Structures are given as structure tokens and as C-alpha cells.
Chain A
């Protein structure tokens, strides 16, 4: 069962940018691509927990700002030689508003 909650306006995040959503168990990074798709991932790089929301967004990937690992926004998987994965959460856009699934909070809380 999904339970979408309205987080913010799409335009609160620049294209090819990200902002974080604070939760009781850390931050989730919400990304907006050039094609106006949104993705939500844990804001911690699988390498050394770099803040992915501060990375450079390109295509459907983000490059971690600390040591340049490239992470797929769709799968959370590190690309290329690097090995690791970030948790991803359902996210979507409705009427130019960003919606996240409330259940991710529980997942966060349970983790």
C-alpha cells in the first residue's frame, strides 16, 4: 500500500539538482533531472557516506562530491568499477508537486 505525501513544489529543486529531506534517521536526497524526473535516495554515498545531494547530476546519475563515485539514481547502484548501492525510495510528480511514499519513513525508522 502506498501513501503518497506532498513534499514540496518541483521548482524548489533546480533542474540537475537536489535537496534533502530530513527524517529522524538521517537525510534523503531528492533529485530532479533535466527531464523533470524525480528520484529519492539515501543521502549517503556507499563509499564513505558522502552527501550525494551536493553532487553533480547528469542524465540519471549523480557524481558524489567527495570522491567522484557515480551513482545511478534509478537503482542506487554505483557505476563502473565501483561497487556499492544506496537505498532508493519511490518518488513521483503530480501537478508539479513532488510526492514521496510515506512508507519510506517507516523503512528508514526500521533500518
Chain B
């Protein structure tokens, strides 16, 4: 006898159950209820419908013919109102039907935050086709949309609405987007890409009210920010649709409780999809629902099967925002993190390993290898053999040496190659196909690599990958002849593979020389000490003589000595000590420098520790006039004396110099603080300049007045000295962590973009983390090398032996 199966809800899960059931010729007589006035369709494709990439017809999964062919009685547009378990009947708005087996597949309902104005016309959720159409209609009128919720749904809604021309703002309660799927770094990149699409994003935004009389007009935040809105989309979460089950007396926790056969507490009633709770788990993605559907179908035909919870992966369906997240990526004891970042390309990868097994992965920008990583997570593969190269993906496994071409070949077509001009791999490939077969031609037709040029290597690699043997790759711009790797490659290796010593870098990066050369060693020494301040011991033998001997070498082999004069302020006592030292060590030249201090030129190497000891005794320390590090902070007289001064520029300069001194940077770092926009301290041609104004301080960066003359660009304006100091520490640390050795700030800025730097500094958490890392490093390096060398290393400044006496005998 055919049994009667009643199904409540024609969604993604029940659609799959029915397919399996009919394939198995189970002989059920099916009645299918759906509250929506239509049958099963691919709900996840609503986002492409919203953005206009697909139509509804294209996403229907089961049409009228299919239901008819399988004898399904369709009761679409009819809400089920009650289940009577005694009588074994289901009652819909249009009448009652009896069941032998019942399947509840009611999905979930969007969560609506209980604020004033939530019921106003123009406030919608994002769940079904009706919502999608409502958004499309609203967007046709243009105007402003506010999307509450920066999760998967909210962001897809926001991107779709922006695509349709609305001015969109996303409000997100947490500190970064999609916080359950992404860590902060990936969240940041996602935010940046969405902002580039014109979507405004406000994090830590708590909505307190939706405003409007007859229709929504705006949204009010907790901090009293008001935002105008013609449309509000609420996408703050979902909650399993359990009302029918609760009313019917089934066991319901957060969702309808089921066993591994998907049976509810009433064994004739099954439940499937987002409405269920299994073993404490709720479900919000289709992959597990499909597994459940198979189990339900098997259970209905008495095939043994059991549902198990598996790892899940998330992707976002917004073009140009390639992200992937899977598994568990929270920090934890014994867990190991491998991180790979390329800020210039916006690529971020993070792997979390526990006990030689990959348990989580977050990827942004380049997700080409995501399936491979997901496989490793699901299969719990032992990764110990490939740990070192794991982060680079499958192309690097199996003993193949690092081949940058494989990585480029694996880049998706819309991966951005040239950041300055926004050129992606696709455009370059297309240009090549259209006949541009060398770098010059690609540059001429696409502009790729035509600006700052940092992507030249990548463009060449795309040429090599696309043209194969027809393209002769020019030698990559490696650091030096010791390696084929670029500065950027090596910095990435140092971070991602936690290389903490020079030999580790040489070994792991395949250095071709035994111990580097005068070009790569100083760069490596800097990268290592900047990335691992606590673990790496500075190597004086890898420093240029000026930094090794803390003095500038002169053309005759003597040295110059420049003590600090904090902020350009000195005292009669200091001047006397300098004069005495000049006399005592027969210093041939005493000069006032361009950095507001005094240079003693022509000191013999042997005398250095002694002259330093004398200067130390008078309270003076090394001015680091020789370093790739903090040089001076020039100041003007400011409010202390000047009739135009707006703030204490001298005092701030001294504070800055006292907090930054001793720090090593990719190139020299010069600062100045001017007391007003007349700018007497020339702050706007320094690496970092501060111009005081009535309302506070303008901090600008990227100036220079050497081989290139550059005016600084405004980074941020702040109100207090403390903020100035925090911002400057943060931007200095960002520069230390990311720039190529011997790039001044302006060169680095041309590569990564002022916008990117701004975003880091504007984000309070990121800024604080940078400050903390800077301070950590300064706990080691904020000290006077002169005092140390005078005390412990004086001997090394003397000749090894003096045979002149002997020879004279």
C-alpha cells in the first residue's frame, strides 16, 4: 500500500529529499506544502538574482512538470497552521490532509532586532524571492540603503544593492566583517574590497532605532549617529522555524531535535534543514542539509544511514571578493599558525594546525587552492611532511622547488596584478591574446606596471605563464646575485615560515652563496630584527660600517660623531662638553647639521669609545646620524616663544624623539614638528611631519628632500599629543613590518597606497596592535649604543696589534 508522505516547506533541503526518494522509487504519495507561492528553487542563488547576474527562472530547481511527473500534490502559497500527532493530520490554510510519515522542512526565519520602527514599510529581511524582488524594486528608485548585519547575507545584499546603483551602508555590530568566518586580517581585506565597490562599512555599530513616519527614513545608532535610508535590510541572523513543531509538542531546543536518522521525538515525524538541531548543532549552509536529505530519504525506505556533522567551508558570492573560510581558526594552546600576506596584492592566507593536522583555513584574495586545503581539513591529513611549504598550496608540494610561476598560473583571472592601475590578470591575459607579447606592449595597452612598477615581476610572470616558451623571462629583480627571490618574497618567507636567523633564511630560501653579501645581509638583518625583535640577535657583521661602529665613516677612514639634541634643544653645559671633546680629540671640523644638531667630523676609530664616554658623561647619547633608523625630530620654537605658535611643537618633538630613538627602520626616518602652518621646521618634507593647528595636529607622511623632493600627504588629523604619538608609532611600525629595505616612506607608500596605510591607522585595534609591537621592539632597541660600546666593546675599536714600534726597533 502506498504510504502518504506530507512535506511542510519546499526549500533546498526538502527538494533534495524528494529527488532521492523518487530515484529510489519509494512509492510514497507526496503532498508538498509551501508558504511561499512557488515550489523549490535554489535559494542561495537569490544573490545573483539581486545583483542582476541571474533571473528567477534560471534558479528554479523543480518545475511544474517535475512535480506532475512524480505525482506530487502541490499546495504552494499555503501556510501549514497545525500538526495533529494523534490524528496524524496536517492542517493548512485550505484544509487538512492525513499522513503516514511527516517531514518538517520549514527552514529558518530571519531574526528581526526588536527596535522601534522595525515594522515600517521599507524595512525588509533577506530570505526569499519576495524579499529579493522588494529590494530590486526599491533599488530601481535609487537612494540610500542601510544593511544591518555584516555577515554573508548582509554583504551579498549590500553588494547587490550597490550593483543596482544604491548608496549602501553596512552596519555591523562586531569589530570586523563576517567575524564568525573570518579573522581580522581577512575581514579587513574584505572591507577594503567592498569599500572599493562603493559600499560604506561601519563596524561596532549598534542600531537603536529605525526612524520614519509612514516609511523608513533613517537609522539611528547608539552613538547618536543618524543615517538616512530609503531602504533598510535586516540581515542580522536566522533562527530555526520551529513554531509548528513546538505547538505539536515535539522536542525543540534551539531547533527541532532530531536523531542521526533525522527523526524527531515522534518517530513518524522527520525534520530536515535549517529548522533542525542535531547534537547541539544548528545549520545555515546547504552542504550539511544535502547530507541530511540523503539520510531522510534512506530512513523513509528503511535503508540504514546516519547523519554526521562535517567541516564546513564558506565562500562569499560577491564578485571580486574572493574569500574562503573553513574549520576552526581560533587561537589555542598547542595550535600553530601559518600566515602569508601580500598587502600589495591584497592576498591573505592563514592556516591553523593542531597536532600535524590542518584544522582551519582562512583565505582572502587568492582562493584558487581553497578546495585542496578544505580536503586536507576534511580528511585530517597528516601534514608534517609538507608543513614548510603548505601555505603555498598544492603547486609547491611533492618536492617541487618553489616556482613563482606556479603561483601566478594558479591566480584567478580577476586577481589584481597592478595595484596602482587596478589591472587584473584577466586584462593582462587578454592583452597578450590580442598581441602584446612583451612587457612594454602590456604596459602600453593595459597600463599594468606603468606606475610604481612593483608588479613588474608579476606581469612578466603572467607573460611567461601565458606565452610559455615564447616569452623569455628577464632576470627577476632579486635582492642580489645570492638569490632569485625578491625582497618581498623573502620578507614573506621570513614571516610565514618563521625564519628567525640568517642561516635559516639562506637555507630555506635557497641562497646561492654561503653567507650572502653586502647587499642582502644588511637587508636580512633588518627584516629579521624587525619581525622577530625578541628572538633574533642583531648581527653587527651584517651591518654597514656606519651602523656597526655607530658613526659615519669619512672618505679618509675617520668618523663623525653626532650626539642627540632632543628636538633641537641644547644647553650651555652640553655645548661646553662638545667643545671640550672637540679639543681633547683634536676634532678638525665642528659643524651645525641640517638636522638641528652638531657634528664632530674627523674622529679616529680608536678614539670613538672615549669621545662617546665623555659625551655620555655630559648626558648625551648617540644621535644615530649614521642609521637606517630614527634620525632627528626637528622642531620650531612653537608656543614657548613664537607669536604664531598654536601648540608646543618643541615639547612634542622632544617626546617623539625620546619615544622613537633607537628604532631601526627600512631606511632613515626623519621627523619634524612645526608649531603652525608657516612650517618653520619644514615638517612637510620629512618622512613623517606634524603641523600643529588650532584644533590639534596634522600628521602627514611620505615627504623627502634628498634625491627626490616630495611633499608629505595627510595621514590623519588628531586632537591630542597622545594620539599623535600613537599614530606615529603605529605608522612607523607598519613601515618597519612591510617596507622593502632601503625604501623611504614615500617609496613604500607609492607601492601600498596611502589609503591602505590610512585604513590600518584608522582602525583602533590595528593601530593599537602596531603600537604594542613597536613598543615590544623598543624594549630591546631603545638604548644608547655608544654607552654599550664604550663600556664593553672599546677594545674592538683598537688595532689588533701595533707592530710599528717593533719595526722601528
Chain A: residues with CB nearer than 8 A to chain B? 7-8, 12-17, 19-25, 27, 30, 34-35, 48-51, 54-59, 61, 63, 65-66, 68, 70, 98, 105, 108-109
Contacts and interface: CB of A to CB of B under 8 A. Distances in A.
B515 to A, nearest CB: 5
B804 A19 contact: no
A70 to B, nearest CB: 8
Contacts of A27: 799
Contacts of B555: 48, 66
A67 to B, nearest CB: 10
Contacts of B801: 7-8, 21-22
Interface string B796-807: 100111111011
B517 interface: yes
B553 interface: yes
24 contacts: A7-B800, A7-B801, A8-B801, A14-B540, A14-B796, A17-B541, A19-B799, A21-B803, A22-B802, A22-B803, A22-B804, A23-B803, A51-B557, A54-B549, A55-B518, A56-B517, A58-B513, A58-B518, A59-B513, A59-B515, A63-B518, A70-B517, A105-B807, A109-B807
A102 B95 CA distance: 116
A12 B557 contact: no
Given A22-B801, A54-B553, A65 B515 contact: no
Nearest to B795: A12
A15 to B, nearest CB: 7
A50 B542 contact: no
B64 to A, nearest CB: 78
Contacts of B522: 56
Contacts of B557: 49-51, 54
Contact of A57 (B541, B544, B549): B541
A59 B543 CA distance: 15
Given A14-B541, A59-B514, A65-B545, A23 B804 contact: yes
Contacts of B796: 14, 19
Contacts of B360: none
Interface string B289-309: 000000000000000000000
Q: Which of A12, A16, A108 has the most CB of B within 10 A?
A: A16
A22 B801 CA distance: 6
Contacts of A12: 800
A58 B517 contact: yes
Contacts of A34: 514-515
Interface in B383-417: none
Contacts of A59: 513-515, 517
Contact of B521 (A30, A54, A56, A98): A56
Interface in B781-807: 796, 799-804, 806-807
A14 B518 CA distance: 16
Contacts of A57: 541
B1 interface: no
Contacts of B800: 7-8, 12-13, 19-21, 30, 98
A103 to B, nearest CB: 12
If over half of B's interface residues share one DSSP class (helix, strand or loop), that class is named, otherwise mixed; here it is: mixed
Given A7-B800, A8-B800, A65 B807 contact: no
B515 A58 contact: yes
Contact of B544 (A7, A20, A21, A65): A65
Nearest to A33: B515
Contacts of B709: none
A21 B799 CA distance: 6
B557 to A, nearest CB: 4
B808 interface: yes
Nearest to B558: A51
Nearest to A65: B545
Interface of B: 513-518, 521-522, 540-545, 548-549, 553, 555, 557, 796, 799-804, 806-808
A98 B801 CA distance: 11
A68 B542 CA distance: 14
Nearest to B797: A19
A49 B542 CA distance: 22
Closest 7 CB pairs of A and B: A63-B518, A19-B800, A56-B518, A54-B545, A51-B557, A16-B541, A65-B545
A61 B480 CA distance: 15
A4 to B, nearest CB: 13
A21 B806 CA distance: 12
A68 B518 contact: yes
Nearest to A63: B518
A57 B804 CA distance: 26
A15 B807 contact: no
Q: Which of B515, B517, B549, B803 has the most CB of A within 10 A?
A: B803
Contacts of B549: 54
A16 B515 contact: yes
Contacts of A55: 518, 545
Given A51-B557, A56-B541, A23 B516 contact: no
A101 B756 CA distance: 61
Nearest to A17: B541
A69 B522 CA distance: 16
Contacts of A22: 799, 801-804
A23 B517 contact: no
Contacts of A30: 800
Contacts of B541: 14-17, 56-57
Contacts of B542: 16, 56
Contacts of A21: 799-803
Nearest to A48: B555
A15 B514 CA distance: 13
A16 B802 CA distance: 22
Nearest to A14: B541
Contacts of B516: 58
Given A56-B541, A65-B544, A20 B799 contact: yes
Contact of A23 (B543, B545, B553, B807): B807
A36 to B, nearest CB: 13
A49 B557 CA distance: 9
B560 to A, nearest CB: 14
Nearest to A80: B481
A9 B596 CA distance: 43
B249 to A, nearest CB: 80
A49 B556 CA distance: 8
B196 to A, nearest CB: 43
Contacts of B799: 19-22, 27
A48 to B, nearest CB: 7
Given A22-B801, A34-B515, A51-B553, 12 more contacts: A17-B541, A20-B799, A21-B801, A25-B807, A51-B557, A55-B518, A56-B522, A58-B521, A59-B513, A65-B545, A70-B518, A105-B803
A50 B88 CA distance: 100
A60 B545 CA distance: 18
Contacts of A15: 541
A57 B517 CA distance: 8
Nearest to B806: A105
Nearest to B798: A19
A16 B541 CA distance: 6
B553 A66 contact: yes
Q: Which of B540, B542, B804 has the most CB of A within 10 A?
A: B804
Nearest to A50: B557
A105 B806 CA distance: 10
A58 B796 CA distance: 20
Nearest to A60: B514
B544 A56 contact: yes
Given A54-B557, A55-B518, A66-B553, A24 B807 contact: yes
Contacts of A24: 803-804, 807-808
A7 B548 CA distance: 24
Nearest to A12: B800
A22 B808 CA distance: 12
A61 B519 CA distance: 13
A95 to B, nearest CB: 17
A23 B802 CA distance: 6
Contacts of B521: 56, 58
Nearest to B503: A34
